[in-house]
């Protein structure tokens, strides 16, 4: 079919384009949008930027889509009569005249003489549903980046409050953000300590943290790990699904345990009513072959190889 041929050509062309976009970029300072509470990660991000795990083509597509959607959201704000100023305004943090962090704020809402900085984030549907307040971002290590980023924006621009704009599948949430002096103090101290390591081209001690499992520098930070040959997945959607699966695993195990306990109680066929529940017990018979009674030479005649794929998931 001609349609199939064209589809294959289009998919191949899109794949090549996405692969051409996979790049690593050198850094001379820390970047506000890429801050985690791991000094070793921060040092790697500057000294070893070229050794970071490359993003997948799916991530490249998501990043490009997010960038375009942010432009659309800004356009919607403006067309709604909302005054938006100072687009992509850069800021820096310095110590003794040395710049150790840079960042850009998406823009500021202007209301009379008041200006409030805002940051737009396009997120997956799962994240969008799970977040109803700024504090909800503290629940996952990959979401804490948003907290550190917005706090540094407020700190760097000397604002007491700001707004985090979430967008997913045509829906928006605007969440208020308050400057947290204690958190900012901790982040700035960490950044300044990490910058001293960068200047000396040294690395802080390795410490296990909650970000390790999705860290793009794990292959060089833990070269002796059994996962050194593993392909790292940086797609946050996968992590979200695995987190949800872990919760369901606990529920499923408990459900099955209770099911077996209840089943033992009702050992006769029939219908039962317990509170608001109706239980139906049925008995059935089935025939099966006793393979242990079959001689091995007979089994070999009917032996065949069946390939299966087994996914084993372990919680770290």
What is the tally of structural domains in the chain?
2
Q: Place 245 in a pLDDT band, splitting at 50, 70 and 90.
A: low
Q: Does residue 8 sit within a domain?
A: no
Residues 56 and 133 in one domain: yes
Q: Does residue 272 sit within a domain?
A: no
Q: Does residue 288 sit within a domain?
A: no
Residues 256 and 107 in one domain: no
Shortest CA distance to 50 belongs to which of 217, 164, 188? 217
DSSP characters over 121-163: EE--HHHHHH-SSGGGGGGSHHHHHHHHHHHHHHHHHT-SEEE
Residues 128 and 263 in one domain: no
Shortest CA distance to 213 belongs to which of 178, 243, 171, 255? 243
Q: Where are the alpha helices (DSSP H) in 33-140?
A: 39-47, 57-79, 125-130
Mean pLDDT over 307-314 rounds to 51
Residues 246 and 155 in one domain: no
Spatial separation of the C-alpha atoms in residues 203 and 214, rounded to whole Å: 20
Rounded to the nearest 10°, the torsion over CA 56, 58, 63, 67 is 150
pLDDT score at 229: 53
Spatial separation of the C-alpha atoms in residues 267 and 259, rounded to whole Å: 13
CATH code where residue 91 lies: 3.90.320.10
The CA–CA distances, whole Å, from 197 to 26, 29, 40, 44, 190 equal 17, 12, 9, 10, 11
Q: Does residue 309 sit within a domain?
A: no
Q: Containing domain of residue 242, as a range?
A: 235-267
Residues 194 and 160 in one domain: yes
Residues 170 and 239 in one domain: no
Q: Place 149 in a pLDDT band, splitting at 50, 70 and 90.
A: very high
On whether the CB atoms of residues 162 and 154 are closer than 8 A, the answer is: yes
* Residue partners of 43: CB distance under 8 A and separation at least 6: 194, 197, 198, 202, 203, 204
Q: Does residue 174 sit within a domain?
A: yes
Q: Where are the alpha helices (DSSP H) in 164-295?
A: 181-200, 218-221, 236-265
Residue 136 dihedral angles phi and psi, to the nearest 5° = -65, -20
Shortest CA distance to 71 belongs to which of 167, 173, 146? 167
Residues 32 and 119 in one domain: yes
Q: Does residue 140 sit within a domain?
A: yes
Residues 261 and 219 in one domain: no
Q: Does residue 168 sit within a domain?
A: yes
Q: Does residue 295 sit within a domain?
A: no
Interval 280-309: pLDDT, tens: 777 777 666 667 777 777 767 766 666 654
pLDDT higher than 70, residue 74 = yes
The pTM assigned to this predicted structure is 0.68
Residues 206 and 70 in one domain: yes
Residues 73 and 38 in one domain: yes
Residues 261 and 148 in one domain: no
Residues 131 and 239 in one domain: no
């Amino acid at each position: 079919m001609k349609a199939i041929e064209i589809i294959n050509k289009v998919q191949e062309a899109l794949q090549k384009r996405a692969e051409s976009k996979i790049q690593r970029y050198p850094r001379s300072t820390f970047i506000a949008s890429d801050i985690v509470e791991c000094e070793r990660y921060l040092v790697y991000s500057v000294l070893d930027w070229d050794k970071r795990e490359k993003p997948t083509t799916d991530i490249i597509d998501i990043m490009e889509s997010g960038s375009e959607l942010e432009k659309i959201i800004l356009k919607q704000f403006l067309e709604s009569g909302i005054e938006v100023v100072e687009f992509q305004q850069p800021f820096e943090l310095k110590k003794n005249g040395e710049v150790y962090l840079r960042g850009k704020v998406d823009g500021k809402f202007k209301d009379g003489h008041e200006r409030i900085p805002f940051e737009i984030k396009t997120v997956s549907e799962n994240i969008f549903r799970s977040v109803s307040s700024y504090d909800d971002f503290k629940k996952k290590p990959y979401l804490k980046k948003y907290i550190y980023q917005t706090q540094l924006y407020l700190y760097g621009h000397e604002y007491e409050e700001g707004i985090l704009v979430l967008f997913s599948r045509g829906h928006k949430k605007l969440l208020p953000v308050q400057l947290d002096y204690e958190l900012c103090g901790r982040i700035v101290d960490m950044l300044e300590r990490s910058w001293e390591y960068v200047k000396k081209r040294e690395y802080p001690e390795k410490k296990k943290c909650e970000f390790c499992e999705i860290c793009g520098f794990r292959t060089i930070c833990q070269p002796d790990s059994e996962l050194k040959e593993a392909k790292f997945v940086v797609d946050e959607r996968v992590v979200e699904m695995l987190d949800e699966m872990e919760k369901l695993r606990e529920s499923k195990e408990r459900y099955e345990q209770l099911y077996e306990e209840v089943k033992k109680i009702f050992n006769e066929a029939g219908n039962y009513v317990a509170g608001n529940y109706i239980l139906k017990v049925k008995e059935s018979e089935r025939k099966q072959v006793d393979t242990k009674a079959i001689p091995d030479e007979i089994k070999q005649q009917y032996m065949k190889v069946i390939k299966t794929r087994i996914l084993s998931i372990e919680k770290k």
